[in-house]
Structure formats: structure tokens, C-alpha cells
Structure 1
Amino acid sequence: MLYELFNYLDQLDVPGAGVFKYVSFRSVMAFILALFISTAIGRRIIDRLRRLQIGETVRELGLEGQLSKKGTPTMGGIIIIIAIIVPLLFFARLNNIYLILMLITTIWLGTLGFADDYIKVFKKDKEGLHGRFKIIAQVGLGLIVGLTLYFSPDVVIRENMEIRRAGQDTIEEVRIHPSEVKSTKTTIPFVKNNNFDYSVLAAWAGRYKTEVTWLLFVLMTIFVVTAVSNGTNLTDGLDGLAAGSSAIVGIALGVLAYTSSHFEFASFLNIMFIPGAEELVVFASAFIGATIGFLWYNAYPAQVFMGDTGSLTLGGIIAVFAIIIRKELLVPILCGVFFVEALSVMLQVFYFKYTKKKTGTGRRIFKMTPLHHHFQKPGNAGIDAIIQKPFNVVPESKIVVRFWLIGIILAAIAIITLKLR
């Protein structure tokens, strides 16, 4: 709203009105407002949740400090969602196709998570929304995003071209192609020419190659959205873990979006130029401000939990953001913490079923999953028993900070893959 207003005032030569043209200014303002909203309204929402007796139900799992969390208000993801959306209404260009997709993602998965939390809290059903409905909603969002990127004429790229000296392998100059084109190209890390086209996987389709290529792209979109949102949901088990990890990923995505939408930086880094993606920098700033502000109340010891309302939303936002800026193949690195958390659950289930079938007694790799709970649970079991190594319980706050540090390292690696080839 303010962008359109100040754009109009700038046309009237009102002094200072032109500042809204700068993405850097709008991004900083979005960050500040999101941070202010999440901290300012957080207390009121927490008090409201407490009055409604929307508290966390805790099962006895033998974890250090677990029972102290009983009754802590949940569904705090509402704070994050409000703190993301409001700054965007003020400082973003609301007619930008990428921003529209991000707003749809935020509201879509926020609603899904809210429904899940509502069933858990008010219907007293600890299982919440049935898993198949979650999957259907996530697949639906993946279809919306994938098909929009396919059909929208506003979704284009300008590819990077390497100019080499005759007979030499040395790159003399990198130019950005003057024409905007629809493309299924994405970024693949650690290779010299880091543009990967999904059409390579559809070479066998003959005359239907284009249609099959986009089908593969849409399927990849669905997979990434589902995997990352569920991975983030599994990570939300310790005070501040999911929010802090998401903020770190948000910073990296903001950097990647800025370089992809900046003509000179795209040319310097030898990456594709994505017109219009600069509005995602404003979104990333609001996202970072909202998640950091939420930590004011969610850091150990937490005064509120985000619930599925927040965790599903954060994961979906990260996934769709990465897909839009053509960095979805960087997700295993960038979201390494979420990936390992989800992987630990899958390995645990698979190994337990496998050993039960073979020996009649199920065995576990970890004492408990997701992985962060393994370090909380007292005693020796699982992999600790196998290697016969004494295990001490790690304090919750230390686990969270260590996971954050790992997330920072992974985010840095994801960024430097732009030059590390």
C-alpha cells in the first residue's frame, strides 16, 4: 500500500518519496516492523491463548525438563504469520507474482497448521489432523506453485552466458542474456556450469518433451514443499530450535534472492538473473524479523510454542522461496538441520521394523527421534549402547545453540556454492 502511495507521490516530485523505490530501504523497514509486531503483539496473544487455556499437552517420555513445558500456550505461530503479512502490506509491491505466491503459501499452510492445532487443543485429539489431509493440502500447494510458475507470463529468467577466448577454457566475460524466457532451469551446486535444466530428464519424451519437463518440475515442487514443511515440523521440539533455524535459513535465502535479482551481482557470480525476485528480499526481511521477534518469547524457557500453525508455515515458506529463486537443489544443504531431523525419524522407523522382522525384537539407532531428543534422553541405548560410550544428557539450551551453529555453517556453505564450483 505504501509503495503505491509513495510511487504516486514521487511522480508528483514530492521530496523523499522516491526512497520507496529502493529494495534495501523497504527491506529494512519490513524487518523492523516485523520485529516490532512480533514482540509487541506477542505478549497479548500469549495472554489470550492462556485465558483460552490453549496449553501444550505433554506425554511422559523421560526427557530432561519435559514436564516443565506442560500448559505452555501453543499456536503461537499466529504471531509469526501476522508479523510477516502486515509489513508486506505496507512495504512490498503486492502485484508481484512471486510475492503473491509467498502470501498464498503463508496463509495456506498457516490455516492447515491452525486446523491441526485446533483439533489437538479443543477436540482433545493428540493426533491432530489426519496425516492424509496434511499431505493433500501440501500437495495442493505444490500444484498451485508449480502450475503458476509454469503458466504465468511474469515468471521468466535471463540466462547467464559465458564468453570465452577462442581455443581457451578461461572465461573472459559473463553476460546476462538480453531476452527474458520461460525456463525450467535451476541451480545445481558444486559444478562448473551450475545451470541444470529439467528437460535433460525428459529427453526420452520426444515430441512431448516440454510437457514432461514441466510435469517433472511440478512434481519436484510438490516434493520439496512436502519434505521441507514436514521436516521443519519435526524440528519444532525444543525451545527456539525451529524459529532460530528458520531465521538463519531466511537470511541465506534473502542473500540468494538479492544476488539473483540484481543484474550486476548475477553477472559477477555467473548465475541466472530473475526479474521481479527483488520483492522476495522484502519478504525475507519480514520473515527474519518475525522469527527473531518470536524468539523473544520462544527462547528457552519458552513462554509460547509455535505449534503446527508456525512450523508447517515456516517450512512451506522456505520451500516455495527456494523454488522461486531456482535454488531448490540447495535445500539439502541449506536446510540441513531439518533434513537430518527428518532423516533420523525415517532411519529409526526403518531400522526398528527391519530388526523386528529379522530377530523378533525391534532395535533402535537412536534413543529417541527426532534427533534433538536423542541428546535429551538419559541412559545408554540405541547407537550409544552399540558403541558402548557413556552418554550424558545435554541441556536443552545447549542443544539448540549447537544446532543453530550447524545451521549457520550450512547456510554459509549454501551461499558460497555460487562461486565454489
Structure 2
Amino acid sequence: MLIILFSYFKNYLKYVNFFLINFKIRSIMTLITSFSMTFFLTPIFIKYFHKKKVSQIIRKDGPITHFIKKKTPTMGGIVILLSIFISVILWSDLSNKYIVYTLFITFLYSIIGFIDDFYKIILKNSIGLSAYKKLFLQSIANIFFILFIIINNEKELYIRFIIPFTHKIIKYNLNIILYIIICYFIVLIISNSVNLTDGLDGLAIMPIIFISLSLTCLSYLTGNIYFSRYFNFIYIKNSTELIIICLSIVGSGLAFLWYNTYPAKIFMGDVGSLSLGCIISIIAIFIKQEFLFLIMCGIFIIESFSVFIQLLKFKYNKKRFFLMAPLHHHYELQGISEPCIITRFWIISLILIVFVFIII
């Protein structure tokens, strides 16, 4: 109730040019608020989840080393999302349509993730919601995103492909139906890919931080009419406000990593991984940087693709292509230590980010 009252008061102050004095100040405060909330609330949640025995359900066919994690609390994504939502509500312009829709769809995904985690804990298995049920619920959430695209249908809907190390940019003009299908699958694939990647301590959250920082820069470039022209980006009015969300992810992500790094004291769970994958996908689509975004998410896509190959191979001849999928478990069973795998995946993620900014 206090947050709602404060948001109304803040919007009133905006009209007298008092609250929204400087965008840089709001950005810094968002980062500080989200970091502080996650940093101080996470230990409280850890104690509470320990008391309620809300702990990680380990796969029975998983690596033996993971069984020591069975008492580690899960659903830490609740803290991340709480910090993101509160910091964004406090420091963003709530009249901005991109902010409202991003928060709304992320909230729907958080409910799906929560239900999935809840099923795992109640049923005492690592499966949770079936793939079909999860896909159905995600599709419902994506419908709202699709409606937003239809309502705000712009004259130019296209996918931009930047040819590396050249100044050439290829634009494929798409009709609204094809564009909606592409956006639908981007959100669906990336959110589930982040979910699959979140299998080791801190493995998923650090790439999320890298990508969020990159989207911060891209949101600034697309929202600035001069920089957008210089970098040959499409200018999207008011998209700069998405920086507030990006920095709130960075702040809460860094604070959560403090407790999630190896050996983890808490896991984010599906409520965190699905929602974070959703929110970065939506931001990338809003600023029309889908192609660059998919490159940045390379580590997530590789993890997801390894599962697809494993299932396809097993269905074809009842044999496994990897020792275990996703890919990080394959390396674990090869005898590579967990911290080593995590660090190397972080390095690959960072390299992909740097590559994106080089080709821009």
C-alpha cells in the first residue's frame, strides 16, 4: 500500500519537475535500491526457507556431487523480483508504456515459475509442471505481449542483421504476423533456456548481469535520437526508460550472486530463471535488437540446444549424445570441477557480449 501511495505521489511530483530532476540520479538510485534490498533480504529469506524446509529438489539421475545441495533453499528468485519491482516502481516513470508492459508480463512469468517450484517442493520431484502445462501457461503470458505489439503496430517491423566487422546492415521487412511469431518464440526459447542453464551455482545469474548491462547501453543508444542515427539504430521514443529496469536487474543480480556463488547458500529457482529470461527478452524486442540479443544469449541457447540434441538422439536410437544434458552436467560427469565450469561459461558469455559491441 505504501509503495502504491508513493508511486502516485511521485507521479504528481514529476509534473512540478521536482522528483524526476535527473535521469542519471534515478538510474543510480535504482541500482542502489535493488542491490541493497536483495543483499539484506536474501539472508532473511534463507533463514525462513530453511525453517519451512523449502529446499532444492535434486535430480535422481543427476551428478552425485549435487546430492549435498538437497538442503539448500530455493525460490530465491522471489527476492530478486521483489527488489526489481519495488526499485522500478519507486524510480521509473510509470506512465511509460514499456515499463508497464514489461513489469506486467514478467509478473505473469513469475507466477508460472512459482507454480513450477511449488509443484517440485510439494510432489518432492525435480520435474514440477509438465512441459505441456508450462508451455500453455507461457503462451497465455505471451498473448498479452503479442497484444501490445498489435496495439502499438509501427509502420516498420523488421529484423536487422549486422554483418560482423563491416558497416553493412541488412533489414528484412516482415508482416505483423511473422514478426509476432518471431517475438513469441524469442521470449519462449530464452526464458526456458535460462531455466535450463540455472543448474550450477551462479551459472545463470552472471550472464544475466552481463546481458542486462549490454541492454542498458543499447536502450540508451536507441532512445537517443543522435546516437541512434550514428549507430544506424531505429530511434524508439521513450525507450531510454528501460534502463531503469536493466539496472535494477544488475543491482539485484549482483547482490544475489553474493549468496548464490559457489558454494551456493540459495538458488533462484524457476520463479527467478523463467522471469529473468522473460524480462531481458522483452526489453531486447522493445528496442528492436533481437539479432544482437540472440548472440548475447549464446550460452543459454547452447545449453538449450544440448538438451534438444540429447532428446533427439535418444529418441532415434536409444543412445545418449552427451553423458548428461544440459551441457554443464556433461562436463561435470567428465570430472571437471563445478567452479571451473561456471567460470568458463562466464568467460564465454562475456566474450559474446564483447563480440556484439565490436560488430556494432
- TM-score, length-scaled by structure 1: 0.79
Q: CA deviation at 1:261?
A: 0.5
Q: CA deviation at 1:193?
A: 4.8
Q: Map residues 242-253 of structure 1 onto 2, 5 A cutoff.
A: 242-253=204-215
Aligned to 2:330: 374
| Deviates further, 56-65 or 364-373 | 56-65
Aligned to 2:162: 189
Q: CA deviation at 1:127?
A: 2.2
Specify the code of the residue in structure 2 equivalent to 1:242.
A
Aligned to 1:287: 249
Give me the whole-angstrom Cα distance separating, in 2, the residues matched to 1:62 and 1:107.
Answer: 31
CA contact (8 A) 1:367 1:374 kept: yes
**Larger-Rg structure:** 1
SS at structure 1 position matched to 2:244:
helix
Aligned to 2:38: 38
Q: CA deviation at 1:183?
A: 2.4
Q: CA deviation at 1:43?
A: 0.9
The size of the alignment, in residue pairs, is 351
Q: CA deviation at 1:122?
A: 2.0
Cα 1:234/1:363, change in 2 over 3 Å: same
Aligned to 2:173: 198
Specify the code of the residue in structure 2 equivalent to 1:188.
F
Identity %: 32
Aligned to 2:14: 7
Q: Map residues 95-106 of structure 1 onto 2, 5 A cutoff.
A: 95-106=95-106
Specify the code of the residue in structure 1 equivalent to 2:63.
L
The yes-or-no answer on 1:144 pairing with 2:112 is no
Give me the whole-angstrom Cα distance separating, in 1, the residues matched to 2:60 and 2:130.
Answer: 23
Q: CA deviation at 1:77?
A: 0.7
- TM-score, length-scaled by structure 2: 0.92
Specify the code of the residue in structure 2 equivalent to 1:194.
I
* Structure 1 residues 10-60: Cα deviation after superposition (integer angstroms, max 9, x where no partner): 3xxxxxx36x24322211110111000111111111111111111112234
CA contact (8 A) 1:119 1:128 kept: yes
Q: CA deviation at 1:97?
A: 0.9
Specify the code of the residue in structure 2 equivalent to 1:407.
S
Aligned to 1:313: 275
Q: Map residues 265-276 of structure 1 onto 2, 5 A cutoff.
A: 265-276=227-238
Aligned to 1:202: none
CA contact (8 A) 2:158 2:179 kept: no
CA contact (8 A) 1:235 1:341 kept: yes
SS at structure 2 position matched to 1:196:
strand
Aligned to 1:88: 88
Q: Map residues 194-343 of structure 1 onto 2, 5 A cutoff.
A: 194=169, 196-199=171-174, 213-343=175-305
Q: Which has the higher helix share?
A: 2
Runs of 4+ displaced beyond 4 Å:
none
Structure 2 gaps, min length 5: 1-6
* Structure 1 residues 127-152: Cα deviation after superposition (integer angstroms, max 9, x where no partner): 21122121122222222212212213
Specify the code of the residue in structure 2 equivalent to 1:150.
I
